[in-house]
Amino acid sequence: MASRMILSPARRLANVVSTRSITTQVLATQCATIKDEITHTGQFYEANDYRNARFVNATKVVNPNWAIKLIDELPIVKSEQRVVCCDGGTDPALGHPKVYIIW
């Protein structure tokens, strides 16, 4: 009986080791091809890049209004004063703080 108790854990371990198997089933889902738009910083991911995982359930949203384009649309306002300020326009809901430019 004592020998049976000693051999029992060894047999259990042997059974566990022998029943190991390698799964051949693919557990990952296939991701749809993501249309990757280039951002203003030049960020672009290849189709097989792991960083595309954040866009599996959502689309990548890139703002088409790049700051450099918006700056080019506004004309330059010349001033002879040493201190000028920008209050962000007439709409305070935009959240633009008053910015002083000192020359």
Read off the pTM.
0.33
CA 29 → CA 4, 35, 37, 56, 66, distances in Å? 47, 18, 23, 10, 35
Residue-wise pLDDT tens digits, 1-14: 555 555 555 555 55
Which segments of 1-103 does DSSP mark as H helices, in order? 2-18, 67-73
Residue-wise pLDDT tens digits, 30-71: 444 446 677 767 777 787 888 777 767 777 777 788 888 888
